[in-house]
Amino acid sequence: MAAVCWLLIHCLLFASSSAHNDFFTSIGQMTDLLFTEKDLVTSLKDYIRAEENKLEQIKKWADKLDVLSAAATQDPEGFLGHPVNAFKLMKRLNTEWAELESLVLTDMSDVFISNLTIQRQHFPNDDDQTGAAKALMRLQDTYQLDTNIISTGELPGSSLGASHQSALTVDDCYDLGKVAYSEADYYHTELWMVQALKQLDEGETSSTVDAITILDYLSYSVYQQGELERALEFTRRLLELGRPDDYLPERKKYEELCRGEGIRMTPRRQSRLFCRYYDNNRHPRYVIGPVKEEDEWDRPRIVRYHDIVSDKEMEKVKELAKPRLQRATISNPITGVLETAHYRISKRRATVHDPQTGKLTTAHYRVSKSAWLGAYEHPVVDKINQRIEDITGLDVTTAEDLQVANYGVGGQYEPHFDFGRKDEPDAFEELGTGNRIATWLLYMSDVQAGGATVFTDVRAAVWPKKGTAVFWYNLYPSGEGDYRTRHAACPVLVGNKWVSNKWIHERGQEFRRRCGLQEMD
């Protein structure tokens, strides 16, 4: 029984694979395909004609009505005073527009699509296409044909007329290169990528592939063949092309911004940043004493609230956090990072291999001490949470606990996103509250020098000011992450930096995300 089954499967597989594959060598099958294609072109042309007819009728109708209504609206009363006009208006509206509607909705493509569907069963598939590509490269090797000769179609002995001149496009050459690449055949990858690049350089255009992509394949395949110098040269060319005039590695941007250099704000954009008193639509707690809201940045929008938490409250928060920060230092003398059961987006990278010692150590990307404070721990925490909710209009019951962080001299937090990216394992899955929709960052100290919060992608910098909080959305209203929010905490040069963050989550904000805090344009 099993043997019969095996035989059957084998036959099926064999039959289906032999049905294709020999396309390239069977003149009979290939000729059939040629005629099939010819029939399809006829069918396609019929379809185009039908579509044109339809459009012609629609145009006629539009022109007729255009003239008619122009005349009618000149003198509506006079026009409608004529009973025939009145009758025809009724008729048009009641039946003729409906007829037009069905004409507009008529699908003219039926016949063509069904022809195509039927014929497609006999079309070559991906394997056939790959097989044809490989056959071409086999011929190339056997007869030692120059890539350029194949591409221009000027094969020896092919004295066909101009109508048969079959040239390969940039895309064709690139596809051949990719077939070779997927077979780990770097020799042919190189040949065909070089040809694709040559044709691009000669001015041929392509909508699907660019020089950068080709150079990427080239440098890799050359490297695989052991030619490091050439690989490097291709990589250099690639980098040159991929680099806009103002390109800087993120590290450099980060350092520049920390020094207060390279901030990208035009005077025109600057002139549209304002300061205002804000009461969140007459929120009862803020009508009497509205808060001062200042635009820090426009795209993405970052706002700062002034005098939002009192000195007394901040002192209390620090006092509550301090014993835990100390514990953190004890548990990790290098970085002082406290990783509790709470959810840190960078948690997975917190431990890394030290290349010098080979031992596991805690990463230096975040050099600070932190602690988490729950709302139940002290009324001041609850009060601050409430204030965040009142001002942002967002539900904080789904937010993470208040995180308090302290950066000493040299303390920093390298560029990162606060939200979880699609390609990562969902860091917040266990929380069940969705991604981090927004960040609230309260500065609880002034910093004498350094310690800015910088946004490396948009090149913005925000300096700490005690008692002020900055706020931005990490996600677009669609829930997509806003990659412009990439940011970092610069190393403290002189002084000591205290912040507390509130990471607000998606759940609960379905009807809350405030219009006022959307993008400025």
Please state the three-class secondary structure of 108-144 as a single string.
CCHHHHHHHHHHHCCCCCHHHHHHHHHHHHHHHHHCC
Is residue 501 near ligand OGA by the rule CB under 6 A? yes
Which listed residue (395, 418, 482, 506) binds ligand OGA by CB under 6 A? Answer: 418
Spatial distance between the Cα atoms of 239 and 216, rounded to a whole number of angstroms: 10
Beta bridge partners of 441: 470, 501
Please identify which residue in the block is written with the tokens 């996103």: 417
Question: Which of the choices ligand OGA, Fe ion, none does residue 428 contact, using the CB cut-off of 5 to 8 A by kind?
Answer: none
472 alpha-carbon distance from chain centroid: 19
Closest approach of Fe ion to the CB of residue 61, in Å: 60
CB distance 295 to 301 below 8 Å: yes
- Find, among 99, 116, 105, 102, the residue nearest to 42 by Cα: 116
Spatial distance between the Cα atoms of 106 and 59, rounded to a whole number of angstroms: 15
Is residue 453 near ligand OGA by the rule CB under 6 A? yes
Show the site string, 469-488: x = touches ligand OGA by CB under 6 A, - = not. ------------------x-
Is residue 395 near ligand OGA by the rule CB under 6 A? no
For ligand OGA, the closer CB: 215 or 475: 475
Is residue 499 near ligand OGA by the rule CB under 6 A? yes
Closest approach of Fe ion to the CB of residue 66, in Å: 59
Closest approach of ligand OGA to the CB of residue 464, in Å: 7
Closest approach of ligand OGA to the CB of residue 328, in Å: 14
Burial (CB < 10 A; 0-12, 13-18, 19+), residue 369, is buried
What are the angstrom distances between the C-alpha of 3 and each of 9, 10, 146, 150?
A: 10, 10, 50, 48
Is residue 254 near ligand OGA by the rule CB under 6 A? no
Which listed residue (372, 413, 419, 440) binds ligand OGA by CB under 6 A? Answer: 413
Lookup: tokens for 401: 């606990």
Question: Which of the choices Fe ion, ligand OGA, none does residue 453 contact, using the CB cut-off of 5 to 8 A by kind?
Answer: ligand OGA
Spatial distance between the Cα atoms of 79 and 65, rounded to a whole number of angstroms: 14
Question: Which of the choices Fe ion, ligand OGA, none does residue 192 contact, using the CB cut-off of 5 to 8 A by kind?
Answer: none
Please identify which residue in the block is written with the tokens 């677009």: 476
Closest approach of ligand OGA to the CB of residue 300, in Å: 14
Question: Which of the choices ligand OGA, Fe ion, none does residue 498 contact, using the CB cut-off of 5 to 8 A by kind?
Answer: none
Q: Annotate 371-388 with DSSP letters as a single string.
A: EEE-GGG-HHHHHHHHHH
Cα pseudo-dihedral 2, 7, 9, 10, rounded to 10: 140
Spatial distance between the Cα atoms of 221 and 176, rounded to a whole number of angstroms: 14
For ligand OGA, the closer CB: 173 or 427: 427
- Find, among 304, 306, 314, the residue nearest to 289 by Cα: 306
Lookup: tokens for 281: 């639509």
Closest approach of Fe ion to the CB of residue 461, in Å: 14
Closest approach of ligand OGA to the CB of residue 280, in Å: 24
497 alpha-carbon distance from chain centroid: 34
Question: Which of the choices Fe ion, ligand OGA, none does residue 280 contact, using the CB cut-off of 5 to 8 A by kind?
Answer: none
Question: Angle at CA 57, nearest 5°, toward 56 and 61?
Answer: 115
Closest approach of ligand OGA to the CB of residue 506, in Å: 17
Question: Which of the choices Fe ion, ligand OGA, none does residue 305 contact, using the CB cut-off of 5 to 8 A by kind?
Answer: none
3 state DSSP class of 492: strand
Question: Which of the choices Fe ion, ligand OGA, none does residue 189 contact, using the CB cut-off of 5 to 8 A by kind?
Answer: none
Is residue 500 near ligand OGA by the rule CB under 6 A? no
Closest approach of ligand OGA to the CB of residue 439, in Å: 7
CB proximity list for 308: less than 8 A, separation 6 or greater: 291, 387, 391, 442, 467, 468, 469
Question: Which of the choices ligand OGA, Fe ion, none does residue 489 contact, using the CB cut-off of 5 to 8 A by kind?
Answer: ligand OGA
Closest approach of ligand OGA to the CB of residue 211, in Å: 37
Question: Which of the choices ligand OGA, Fe ion, none does residue 406 contact, using the CB cut-off of 5 to 8 A by kind?
Answer: none
Binding interface with Fe ion (CB under 5 A):
418
Spatial distance between the Cα atoms of 479 and 473, rounded to a whole number of angstroms: 10
> What is the sign, positive or negative, of the torsion defined by CA atoms of 245, 250, 252, 253?
positive
Show the site string, 327-366: x = touches ligand OGA by CB under 6 A, - = not. ----------------------------------------
- Find, among 122, 126, 151, 124, the residue nearest to 137 by Cα: 151
Is residue 234 near ligand OGA by the rule CB under 6 A? no
Count interface residues toward ligand OGA (CB under 6 A). Answer: 9
Spatial distance between the Cα atoms of 498 and 515, rounded to a whole number of angstroms: 31
Closest approach of ligand OGA to the CB of residue 192, in Å: 47
Closest approach of ligand OGA to the CB of residue 488, in Å: 7
Is residue 400 near ligand OGA by the rule CB under 6 A? no
For ligand OGA, the closer CB: 209 or 438: 438
For ligand OGA, the closer CB: 186 or 440: 440
Is residue 489 near ligand OGA by the rule CB under 6 A? yes
CB distance 306 to 468 below 8 Å: yes
Residues in the site for ligand OGA, rule: CB under 6 A? 405, 413, 418, 441, 453, 487, 489, 499, 501
